[in-house]
Structure 1
Amino acid sequence: MATFVSKADLSPARGRLVELFQELNFGRIHFLHVAGGDPILLDPPPRVVREIKLGGDNECRRERGLGHFLLKAQLVELFELFDRIGDGVVELIEVKNGLPFRMLIPEIIS
């Protein structure tokens, strides 16, 4: 399992997912496919639902424009989970303040 410390350490697909979180700021990503531990954002695209906070700041995160920054613990944990999933589908990722907050993954009980 790889250790990711900064955005520069990420694969292009993972870096793009971080940018999507920052663009979304608050919302949900439904049915995100993962292949080889990397998110699939184009084929098929996940369903993205933006949360609009009335009277609040709905702009993307200012970090969105940065090419290099240290990853928060939530991102490191998310990508470690993707490595464990390998190939599969994440039913839901809830995003708060541009970071993954909660994740739902289907499991088969044997």
Structure 2
Amino acid sequence: MQETRNDFTKSSLSQPNARLVELMQRINFGAIEKLIFKRGELLFDPPPRVIREIKFCAENGPRPETTKQDFTLKAQVRDLFAQIETLGDGVIHSLEVKHGLPFKMIIEENAA
């Protein structure tokens, strides 16, 4: 991934990475579990498990960005993809999503 800060947009992402951004936006609040990555690339087969947080008397729908074709991605998204690329192979045991953005993740990886 060679994006710079200025061109780190949704359209600059690989298809699997763009798919994850869209999934996080649809979830808005919740988690994604058991998402496999190999050689720094996300795999959606088998599909990850999605956990949605529902707040009473609050907005629970997707982020407004889901209707946009392209936009600049936030630093949290850049850091998430940099971490996955650096780790190489593993499983995201849990990726916590807040406001449609990655907040923290717990990973499974092989001991070296």
Give the TM-score normalised by structure 2: 0.89
CA offset at residue 35 of structure 1? 2.1
| Residue in 1 that maps onto 2:19 | 16
- Please list every run of 5 or more consecutive structure 2 residues that lacks an aligned counterpart in the other structure: none
| Residue in 2 that maps onto 1:30 | 33
CA offset at residue 108 of structure 1? 5.4
Q: How is 1:12-91 mapped onto 2 (pairs within 5 angstroms)?
A: 12-41=15-44, 43-91=45-93
Q: CA RMSD in A?
A: 1.5
The one-character-per-residue Cα deviations of 1:76-99 (angstroms, maximum 9, x if unpaired) are 000001111222111110000000
The structure 1 segments of at least 4 consecutive aligned residues displaced by more than 6 Å after TM superposition are none
CA offset at residue 26 of structure 1? 0.4
CA offset at residue 107 of structure 1? 4.7
- Please list every run of 5 or more consecutive structure 1 residues that lacks an aligned counterpart in the other structure: none
Number of paired residues? 109
Give the TM-score normalised by structure 1: 0.91
